[in-house]
Structure 1
Protein backbone atom coordinates (compact mmCIF):
# COMPACT_ATOMS: atom_id res chain seq x y z
CA UNK A 1 0.00 0.00 0.00
CA UNK A 2 1.51 3.30 -1.11
CA UNK A 3 1.79 6.25 1.23
CA UNK A 4 -0.16 9.52 1.31
CA UNK A 5 1.61 12.88 1.12
CA UNK A 6 0.21 15.64 3.34
CA UNK A 7 1.35 19.15 2.36
CA UNK A 8 1.60 21.98 4.90
CA UNK A 9 2.81 25.59 4.84
CA UNK A 10 6.05 27.19 6.01
CA UNK A 11 4.50 30.68 6.29
CA UNK A 12 4.26 31.86 9.90
CA UNK A 13 3.14 35.48 9.47
CA UNK A 14 0.96 37.48 7.12
CA UNK A 15 3.49 39.47 5.04
CA UNK A 16 1.19 42.52 5.11
CA UNK A 17 -0.26 42.20 8.61
CA UNK A 18 1.12 41.92 12.15
CA UNK A 19 -0.65 38.65 12.76
CA UNK A 20 0.50 35.04 12.96
CA UNK A 21 -0.71 32.44 10.51
CA UNK A 22 0.29 28.92 9.45
CA UNK A 23 -1.34 25.52 9.15
CA UNK A 24 -4.96 25.26 10.28
CA UNK A 25 -4.49 22.35 12.65
CA UNK A 26 -7.87 20.67 12.16
CA UNK A 27 -7.40 20.46 8.40
CA UNK A 28 -4.39 18.21 8.90
CA UNK A 29 -5.75 16.31 11.91
CA UNK A 30 -9.17 15.31 10.60
CA UNK A 31 -7.71 14.17 7.29
CA UNK A 32 -4.84 12.29 8.93
CA UNK A 33 -7.08 10.48 11.42
CA UNK A 34 -9.24 8.87 8.72
CA UNK A 35 -6.27 8.11 6.46
CA UNK A 36 -4.34 6.41 9.27
CA UNK A 37 -7.45 4.50 10.32
CA UNK A 38 -7.64 3.13 6.76
CA UNK A 39 -4.09 1.79 7.10
CA UNK A 40 -2.15 4.33 5.08
CA UNK A 41 1.13 5.88 6.21
CA UNK A 42 1.44 9.66 5.95
CA UNK A 43 4.52 11.71 5.10
CA UNK A 44 4.40 15.42 5.89
CA UNK A 45 5.96 17.76 3.34
CA UNK A 46 6.28 21.52 3.00
CA UNK A 47 7.81 23.73 0.29
CA UNK A 48 11.06 24.27 2.23
CA UNK A 49 10.89 21.39 4.71
CA UNK A 50 11.33 21.68 8.46
CA UNK A 51 8.94 23.46 10.77
CA UNK A 52 5.32 24.21 9.93
CA UNK A 53 3.78 26.90 12.17
CA UNK A 54 0.25 26.45 13.51
CA UNK A 55 -2.26 29.23 13.03
CA UNK A 56 -3.07 30.28 16.63
CA UNK A 57 -6.69 30.91 15.66
CA UNK A 58 -7.03 27.21 14.86
CA UNK A 59 -6.09 26.40 18.47
CA UNK A 60 -8.87 28.42 20.06
CA UNK A 61 -11.23 26.36 22.24
CA UNK A 62 -14.19 26.78 19.89
CA UNK A 63 -12.12 25.32 17.03
CA UNK A 64 -10.65 22.36 18.91
CA UNK A 65 -12.49 19.04 19.01
CA UNK A 66 -11.54 16.04 21.13
CA UNK A 67 -9.73 14.66 18.09
CA UNK A 68 -7.76 17.88 17.64
CA UNK A 69 -6.65 17.78 21.28
CA UNK A 70 -5.63 14.13 20.90
CA UNK A 71 -3.27 15.02 18.05
CA UNK A 72 -2.14 18.32 19.55
CA UNK A 73 -0.94 16.53 22.68
CA UNK A 74 0.73 13.73 20.68
CA UNK A 75 4.48 14.34 20.65
CA UNK A 76 5.06 12.09 17.65
CA UNK A 77 2.58 14.07 15.55
CA UNK A 78 4.02 17.42 16.64
CA UNK A 79 7.53 16.21 15.84
CA UNK A 80 6.39 15.35 12.31
CA UNK A 81 5.04 18.87 11.89
CA UNK A 82 8.37 20.23 13.15
CA UNK A 83 10.45 18.14 10.75
CA UNK A 84 8.49 18.09 7.50
CA UNK A 85 10.21 16.81 4.39
CA UNK A 86 11.28 19.40 1.80
CA UNK A 87 9.45 19.18 -1.52
CA UNK A 88 12.68 18.52 -3.44
CA UNK A 89 13.30 15.32 -1.45
CA UNK A 90 10.06 13.64 -2.51
CA UNK A 91 9.78 10.77 -5.00
CA UNK A 92 6.18 11.08 -6.28
CA UNK A 93 6.15 7.43 -7.33
CA UNK A 94 6.04 6.42 -3.64
CA UNK A 95 2.61 7.99 -3.12
CA UNK A 96 -0.97 7.04 -3.97
CA UNK A 97 -2.33 10.49 -3.16
CA UNK A 98 -1.39 14.03 -2.20
CA UNK A 99 -3.41 16.28 0.10
CA UNK A 100 -2.93 20.02 0.57
CA UNK A 101 -4.01 21.21 4.02
CA UNK A 102 -4.95 24.86 4.40
CA UNK A 103 -4.61 27.78 6.73
CA UNK A 104 -4.01 31.27 5.37
CA UNK A 105 -0.25 30.74 5.31
CA UNK A 106 -0.55 28.62 2.17
CA UNK A 107 -1.69 31.68 0.21
CA UNK A 108 1.96 32.77 0.12
CA UNK A 109 3.80 29.52 -0.57
CA UNK A 110 1.63 26.88 -2.27
CA UNK A 111 0.44 28.30 -5.58
CA UNK A 112 3.84 29.13 -7.09
CA UNK A 113 5.82 26.13 -5.82
CA UNK A 114 6.89 24.23 -8.94
CA UNK A 115 8.33 21.29 -6.97
CA UNK A 116 4.98 20.63 -5.34
CA UNK A 117 3.25 21.07 -8.68
CA UNK A 118 5.50 18.46 -10.29
CA UNK A 119 4.92 16.02 -7.43
CA UNK A 120 1.14 16.34 -7.71
CA UNK A 121 1.21 16.15 -11.50
CA UNK A 122 3.21 12.92 -11.40
CA UNK A 123 0.98 11.35 -8.75
CA UNK A 124 -2.07 12.14 -10.88
CA UNK A 125 -0.39 10.92 -14.08
CA UNK A 126 0.40 7.66 -12.26
CA UNK A 127 -3.32 7.17 -11.63
CA UNK A 128 -3.26 8.56 -8.09
CA UNK A 129 -5.42 11.10 -6.32
CA UNK A 130 -4.87 14.85 -5.87
CA UNK A 131 -6.80 16.40 -2.98
CA UNK A 132 -7.01 19.60 -0.96
CA UNK A 133 -9.19 21.49 1.50
CA UNK A 134 -10.10 25.12 2.12
CA UNK A 135 -7.20 27.46 1.21
CA UNK A 136 -5.10 24.38 0.48
CA UNK A 137 -6.79 24.18 -2.92
CA UNK A 138 -4.54 27.04 -4.09
CA UNK A 139 -1.87 24.35 -4.38
CA UNK A 140 -3.86 23.01 -7.34
CA UNK A 141 -3.99 26.28 -9.27
CA UNK A 142 -0.87 25.85 -11.39
CA UNK A 143 -0.55 22.07 -11.67
CA UNK A 144 -0.31 21.08 -15.33
CA UNK A 145 -1.23 17.74 -16.90
CA UNK A 146 0.80 15.90 -19.54
CA UNK A 147 -0.75 18.06 -22.26
CA UNK A 148 0.37 21.26 -20.59
CA UNK A 149 -3.17 22.22 -19.57
CA UNK A 150 -4.14 23.21 -16.04
CA UNK A 151 -5.16 20.05 -14.20
CA UNK A 152 -8.27 21.71 -12.77
CA UNK A 153 -9.47 23.08 -16.12
CA UNK A 154 -13.06 21.95 -16.79
CA UNK A 155 -12.94 20.02 -13.49
CA UNK A 156 -15.46 20.40 -10.69
CA UNK A 157 -13.73 21.74 -7.57
CA UNK A 158 -14.55 23.62 -4.39
CA UNK A 159 -12.54 25.64 -1.88
CA UNK A 160 -12.79 28.56 0.54
CA UNK A 161 -15.58 30.82 -0.71
CA UNK A 162 -15.39 34.56 -1.24
CA UNK A 163 -18.14 35.05 1.33
CA UNK A 164 -16.28 32.94 3.91
CA UNK A 165 -13.15 35.05 3.30
CA UNK A 166 -15.16 38.24 3.78
CA UNK A 167 -16.71 36.80 6.95
CA UNK A 168 -13.28 36.29 8.55
CA UNK A 169 -12.26 39.81 7.50
CA UNK A 170 -9.26 38.80 5.38
CA UNK A 171 -10.54 39.36 1.85
CA UNK A 172 -8.41 42.51 1.53
CA UNK A 173 -5.36 40.84 3.12
CA UNK A 174 -4.92 37.71 0.99
CA UNK A 175 -3.10 38.14 -2.34
CA UNK A 176 -6.14 36.80 -4.21
CA UNK A 177 -9.51 35.22 -3.48
CA UNK A 178 -9.41 31.43 -3.71
CA UNK A 179 -12.82 31.10 -5.37
CA UNK A 180 -12.06 33.74 -8.00
CA UNK A 181 -8.68 32.25 -8.85
CA UNK A 182 -10.06 28.72 -9.28
CA UNK A 183 -12.61 30.11 -11.74
CA UNK A 184 -9.91 32.11 -13.54
CA UNK A 185 -7.88 28.94 -14.07
CA UNK A 186 -10.85 27.31 -15.82
CA UNK A 187 -12.18 25.13 -13.00
CA UNK A 188 -15.90 24.47 -12.59
CA UNK A 189 -16.18 25.95 -9.10
CA UNK A 190 -19.06 24.77 -6.90
CA UNK A 191 -19.93 25.47 -3.26
CA UNK A 192 -22.46 24.89 -0.52
CA UNK A 193 -23.64 27.17 2.29
CA UNK A 194 -20.83 28.94 4.16
CA UNK A 195 -19.14 26.78 6.82
CA UNK A 196 -21.01 23.61 5.86
CA UNK A 197 -19.15 20.33 5.28
CA UNK A 198 -18.86 20.06 1.51
CA UNK A 199 -16.62 18.08 -0.85
CA UNK A 200 -16.58 17.31 -4.54
CA UNK A 201 -14.77 14.61 -6.54
CA UNK A 202 -14.00 14.86 -10.25
CA UNK A 203 -11.19 13.51 -12.44
CA UNK A 204 -9.43 11.93 -9.41
CA UNK A 205 -9.35 15.34 -7.74
CA UNK A 206 -11.03 15.67 -4.34
CA UNK A 207 -11.58 19.09 -2.81
CA UNK A 208 -13.25 20.39 0.37
CA UNK A 209 -14.74 23.83 0.91
CA UNK A 210 -13.57 24.88 4.36
CA UNK A 211 -11.90 23.75 7.62
CA UNK A 212 -14.87 21.57 8.53
CA UNK A 213 -14.41 19.48 5.38
CA UNK A 214 -11.00 17.84 5.98
CA UNK A 215 -12.35 14.56 7.33
CA UNK A 216 -14.89 14.35 4.52
CA UNK A 217 -12.10 14.81 1.97
CA UNK A 218 -10.20 11.93 3.59
CA UNK A 219 -13.23 9.63 3.33
CA UNK A 220 -13.66 10.51 -0.36
CA UNK A 221 -9.95 9.95 -1.05
CA UNK A 222 -10.07 6.52 0.61
CA UNK A 223 -13.20 5.58 -1.32
CA UNK A 224 -11.56 6.69 -4.57
CA UNK A 225 -8.31 4.81 -3.88
CA UNK A 226 -10.25 1.62 -3.20
CA UNK A 227 -12.02 1.95 -6.54
CA UNK A 228 -8.86 2.42 -8.60
Structure 2
Protein backbone atom coordinates (compact mmCIF):
# COMPACT_ATOMS: atom_id res chain seq x y z
CA UNK A 1 0.00 0.00 0.00
CA UNK A 2 1.22 3.48 -0.86
CA UNK A 3 0.46 6.77 0.86
CA UNK A 4 -0.79 9.53 -1.40
CA UNK A 5 -0.89 13.20 -0.46
CA UNK A 6 -3.84 14.91 -2.12
CA UNK A 7 -3.25 18.66 -2.08
CA UNK A 8 -6.51 20.56 -2.39
CA UNK A 9 -7.07 24.29 -2.72
CA UNK A 10 -8.71 26.09 0.20
CA UNK A 11 -9.77 29.06 -1.96
CA UNK A 12 -13.45 29.76 -2.54
CA UNK A 13 -13.30 32.90 -4.71
CA UNK A 14 -11.43 33.86 -7.88
CA UNK A 15 -11.34 37.57 -8.71
CA UNK A 16 -11.88 38.05 -12.44
CA UNK A 17 -10.40 40.85 -14.52
CA UNK A 18 -13.70 42.77 -14.39
CA UNK A 19 -13.60 42.70 -10.59
CA UNK A 20 -16.25 40.02 -10.24
CA UNK A 21 -15.83 37.60 -7.34
CA UNK A 22 -16.27 34.22 -9.03
CA UNK A 23 -17.18 31.34 -6.67
CA UNK A 24 -14.64 28.57 -6.96
CA UNK A 25 -12.94 25.76 -5.07
CA UNK A 26 -12.00 22.20 -6.04
CA UNK A 27 -13.65 20.40 -8.95
CA UNK A 28 -15.83 17.61 -7.59
CA UNK A 29 -15.30 15.02 -10.31
CA UNK A 30 -11.52 15.38 -10.22
CA UNK A 31 -11.20 14.95 -6.48
CA UNK A 32 -13.78 12.18 -6.30
CA UNK A 33 -12.41 10.10 -9.17
CA UNK A 34 -8.81 10.34 -8.01
CA UNK A 35 -9.63 9.66 -4.36
CA UNK A 36 -11.99 6.79 -5.11
CA UNK A 37 -9.72 5.11 -7.66
CA UNK A 38 -6.68 5.22 -5.39
CA UNK A 39 -8.43 4.11 -2.21
CA UNK A 40 -10.26 1.25 -3.93
CA UNK A 41 -6.86 -0.11 -4.91
CA UNK A 42 -5.84 -0.09 -1.26
CA UNK A 43 -3.81 3.10 -1.14
CA UNK A 44 -4.12 5.60 1.68
CA UNK A 45 -5.07 9.11 0.56
CA UNK A 46 -4.37 12.01 2.92
CA UNK A 47 -6.11 15.29 2.08
CA UNK A 48 -4.11 18.44 2.83
CA UNK A 49 -4.84 22.13 2.32
CA UNK A 50 -3.05 25.40 3.10
CA UNK A 51 -3.47 26.00 6.81
CA UNK A 52 -5.64 22.92 7.19
CA UNK A 53 -8.69 24.90 6.05
CA UNK A 54 -11.75 23.01 4.91
CA UNK A 55 -11.83 23.01 1.11
CA UNK A 56 -14.85 24.28 -0.80
CA UNK A 57 -16.32 22.42 -3.74
CA UNK A 58 -16.84 24.55 -6.84
CA UNK A 59 -20.64 24.80 -7.14
CA UNK A 60 -20.48 24.62 -10.93
CA UNK A 61 -18.87 21.19 -10.68
CA UNK A 62 -22.04 19.87 -9.05
CA UNK A 63 -24.42 21.49 -11.52
CA UNK A 64 -26.40 18.98 -13.57
CA UNK A 65 -25.79 20.87 -16.82
CA UNK A 66 -22.05 20.70 -16.23
CA UNK A 67 -21.91 17.14 -14.94
CA UNK A 68 -24.28 15.69 -17.51
CA UNK A 69 -26.92 13.93 -15.43
CA UNK A 70 -28.71 14.07 -12.10
CA UNK A 71 -27.48 10.54 -11.37
CA UNK A 72 -23.84 11.61 -11.68
CA UNK A 73 -24.46 14.64 -9.48
CA UNK A 74 -25.95 12.35 -6.83
CA UNK A 75 -22.95 10.03 -7.15
CA UNK A 76 -20.51 12.90 -6.60
CA UNK A 77 -22.49 14.23 -3.63
CA UNK A 78 -22.61 10.77 -2.08
CA UNK A 79 -18.86 10.23 -2.32
CA UNK A 80 -18.08 13.69 -0.96
CA UNK A 81 -20.31 12.88 2.00
CA UNK A 82 -18.59 9.51 2.40
CA UNK A 83 -15.19 11.19 2.79
CA UNK A 84 -16.62 14.15 4.67
CA UNK A 85 -14.41 13.62 7.72
CA UNK A 86 -11.26 13.95 5.59
CA UNK A 87 -12.57 17.13 3.98
CA UNK A 88 -13.81 18.62 7.25
CA UNK A 89 -10.43 18.24 8.93
CA UNK A 90 -7.66 18.14 6.32
CA UNK A 91 -4.00 18.06 7.26
CA UNK A 92 -2.27 21.43 7.10
CA UNK A 93 0.35 21.60 4.35
CA UNK A 94 2.67 23.12 6.91
CA UNK A 95 2.59 19.86 8.89
CA UNK A 96 3.31 17.53 5.97
CA UNK A 97 6.53 15.52 5.78
CA UNK A 98 7.11 14.49 2.18
CA UNK A 99 9.19 11.51 3.28
CA UNK A 100 5.99 9.88 4.53
CA UNK A 101 4.40 9.73 1.07
CA UNK A 102 4.82 8.00 -2.27
CA UNK A 103 2.84 10.40 -4.45
CA UNK A 104 1.39 13.90 -4.53
CA UNK A 105 -1.89 14.47 -6.39
CA UNK A 106 -3.29 17.93 -7.19
CA UNK A 107 -6.88 18.04 -8.50
CA UNK A 108 -8.14 21.23 -10.08
CA UNK A 109 -10.97 23.66 -10.11
CA UNK A 110 -9.93 27.31 -10.35
CA UNK A 111 -8.99 27.28 -6.65
CA UNK A 112 -5.30 26.37 -7.19
CA UNK A 113 -4.86 29.58 -9.21
CA UNK A 114 -5.69 31.57 -6.09
CA UNK A 115 -3.67 29.88 -3.36
CA UNK A 116 -1.60 26.87 -4.44
CA UNK A 117 0.16 28.70 -7.28
CA UNK A 118 1.80 31.07 -4.81
CA UNK A 119 2.08 28.89 -1.71
CA UNK A 120 5.74 28.68 -0.62
CA UNK A 121 5.06 25.68 1.60
CA UNK A 122 3.65 23.74 -1.33
CA UNK A 123 6.59 24.89 -3.43
CA UNK A 124 9.05 23.38 -0.97
CA UNK A 125 7.03 20.16 -0.72
CA UNK A 126 6.89 19.75 -4.49
CA UNK A 127 10.59 20.45 -4.82
CA UNK A 128 11.38 17.82 -2.19
CA UNK A 129 8.93 15.39 -3.78
CA UNK A 130 10.51 15.81 -7.19
CA UNK A 131 14.03 15.43 -5.82
CA UNK A 132 12.93 12.22 -4.08
CA UNK A 133 11.30 10.82 -7.21
CA UNK A 134 7.78 10.77 -5.81
CA UNK A 135 4.95 10.53 -8.31
CA UNK A 136 3.57 14.06 -8.82
CA UNK A 137 0.16 14.20 -10.49
CA UNK A 138 -1.57 17.54 -11.12
CA UNK A 139 -4.48 17.76 -13.54
CA UNK A 140 -6.87 20.27 -15.07
CA UNK A 141 -6.08 23.50 -13.14
CA UNK A 142 -4.03 21.53 -10.60
CA UNK A 143 -0.77 22.23 -12.48
CA UNK A 144 -1.13 25.84 -11.33
CA UNK A 145 0.23 24.51 -8.05
CA UNK A 146 3.48 23.57 -9.76
CA UNK A 147 4.19 27.29 -10.21
CA UNK A 148 4.89 27.52 -6.48
CA UNK A 149 8.05 25.44 -6.91
CA UNK A 150 10.93 27.81 -7.57
CA UNK A 151 14.70 27.45 -7.34
CA UNK A 152 16.95 29.61 -5.19
CA UNK A 153 17.75 31.82 -8.17
CA UNK A 154 14.08 32.32 -9.09
CA UNK A 155 13.88 29.60 -11.74
CA UNK A 156 11.09 27.08 -12.12
CA UNK A 157 11.65 23.59 -10.73
CA UNK A 158 9.58 22.03 -13.52
CA UNK A 159 11.09 24.00 -16.40
CA UNK A 160 11.73 21.73 -19.37
CA UNK A 161 9.25 19.13 -18.15
CA UNK A 162 6.44 17.88 -20.37
CA UNK A 163 2.94 18.23 -18.97
CA UNK A 164 -0.76 18.64 -19.72
CA UNK A 165 -3.02 21.29 -18.22
CA UNK A 166 -6.39 22.94 -18.87
CA UNK A 167 -5.77 24.69 -22.16
CA UNK A 168 -6.29 28.35 -22.97
CA UNK A 169 -8.90 27.26 -25.52
CA UNK A 170 -10.83 25.31 -22.88
CA UNK A 171 -10.61 28.25 -20.48
CA UNK A 172 -11.99 30.64 -23.08
CA UNK A 173 -14.80 28.37 -24.26
CA UNK A 174 -15.85 26.61 -21.08
CA UNK A 175 -14.01 28.19 -18.16
CA UNK A 176 -14.06 31.81 -17.03
CA UNK A 177 -13.50 33.12 -20.55
CA UNK A 178 -11.72 36.36 -21.34
CA UNK A 179 -12.19 37.58 -17.76
CA UNK A 180 -9.80 34.89 -16.53
CA UNK A 181 -7.12 36.71 -14.47
CA UNK A 182 -4.39 34.57 -16.04
CA UNK A 183 -4.19 31.44 -18.13
CA UNK A 184 -2.46 28.51 -16.47
CA UNK A 185 -1.17 26.92 -19.67
CA UNK A 186 0.33 30.21 -20.86
CA UNK A 187 1.92 30.90 -17.48
CA UNK A 188 3.49 27.44 -17.34
CA UNK A 189 4.92 27.92 -20.83
CA UNK A 190 6.31 31.30 -19.79
CA UNK A 191 8.04 29.61 -16.87
CA UNK A 192 9.63 27.03 -19.16
CA UNK A 193 7.33 24.02 -19.01
CA UNK A 194 6.65 22.10 -22.22
CA UNK A 195 2.85 22.11 -22.39
CA UNK A 196 1.31 19.46 -24.64
CA UNK A 197 -2.32 19.64 -25.73
CA UNK A 198 -4.88 17.07 -26.74
CA UNK A 199 -8.31 17.75 -28.27
CA UNK A 200 -10.43 20.10 -26.16
CA UNK A 201 -12.67 18.37 -23.60
CA UNK A 202 -11.16 14.95 -24.28
CA UNK A 203 -9.03 12.84 -21.97
CA UNK A 204 -5.34 13.59 -22.43
CA UNK A 205 -2.53 12.54 -20.10
CA UNK A 206 1.20 13.21 -20.29
CA UNK A 207 3.81 11.30 -18.33
CA UNK A 208 7.33 12.67 -18.03
CA UNK A 209 9.29 10.55 -15.58
CA UNK A 210 7.67 10.93 -12.16
CA UNK A 211 5.40 13.76 -13.40
CA UNK A 212 1.93 12.60 -14.46
CA UNK A 213 -0.52 15.27 -15.62
CA UNK A 214 -3.94 15.56 -17.23
CA UNK A 215 -5.63 18.24 -19.29
CA UNK A 216 -9.18 18.51 -17.97
CA UNK A 217 -11.94 16.86 -15.91
CA UNK A 218 -12.36 14.27 -18.66
CA UNK A 219 -8.80 13.13 -17.88
CA UNK A 220 -9.54 12.33 -14.23
CA UNK A 221 -9.85 8.57 -14.59
CA UNK A 222 -6.83 8.29 -16.88
CA UNK A 223 -4.69 10.34 -14.51
CA UNK A 224 -5.70 8.16 -11.56
CA UNK A 225 -4.90 5.01 -13.53
CA UNK A 226 -1.53 6.47 -14.57
CA UNK A 227 -0.76 7.19 -10.92
CA UNK A 228 -1.60 3.59 -10.03
CA UNK A 229 0.69 2.40 -12.79
CA UNK A 230 3.50 4.69 -11.66
CA UNK A 231 3.14 3.59 -8.04
CA UNK A 232 3.24 -0.03 -9.13
CA UNK A 233 6.35 0.57 -11.22
CA UNK A 234 8.11 2.29 -8.34
CA UNK A 235 7.60 -0.81 -6.18
CA UNK A 236 8.76 -3.35 -8.75
- TM-score normalised by length of structure 1: 0.92
Structural mapping, 1:35-184, within 5 Å: 35-62=38-65, 63=67, 69-74=74-79, 75-144=81-150, 150-168=156-174, 170-184=176-190
Equivalent residue for 1:4? 4
Equivalent residue for 1:207? 213
Tell me how large the CA RMSD over aligned residues is: 2.1
Secondary structure of 1:73's match? helix
- Displacement of 1:147 in angstroms is 9.6
Distance 2:151 2:37 in 1: 28
Distance 2:123 2:102 in 1: 15
Secondary structure of 1:212's match? helix
Contact 1:26 1:68 in 2 (8 A): no
Distance 2:39 2:175 in 1: 34
Distance 1:169 1:182 in 2: 18
Contact 1:58 1:64 in 2 (8 A): no
- Displacement of 1:98 in angstroms is 0.4
Secondary structure of 1:44's match? strand
Distance 1:169 1:132 in 2: 18
Unpaired runs of 5+ in structure 1? none
- Displacement of 1:149 in angstroms is 5.0
- Displacement of 1:8 in angstroms is 1.1
The number of aligned residues is 228
Contact 1:159 1:207 in 2 (8 A): yes
- Displacement of 1:50 in angstroms is 2.3
Contact 2:27 2:61 in 1 (8 A): yes
Secondary structure of 1:111's match? helix
- TM-score normalised by length of structure 2: 0.89
Distance 2:61 2:75 in 1: 14
- Displacement of 1:26 in angstroms is 0.5
Distance 2:64 2:159 in 1: 39
- Displacement of 1:14 in angstroms is 2.3
| More divergent stretch after superposition (168-177 vs 18-27) | 168-177
Q: Are the structure 2 counterparts of residues 58 and 28 from structure 1 closer, same or farther at C-alpha, using a change threshold of 3 Å?
A: same
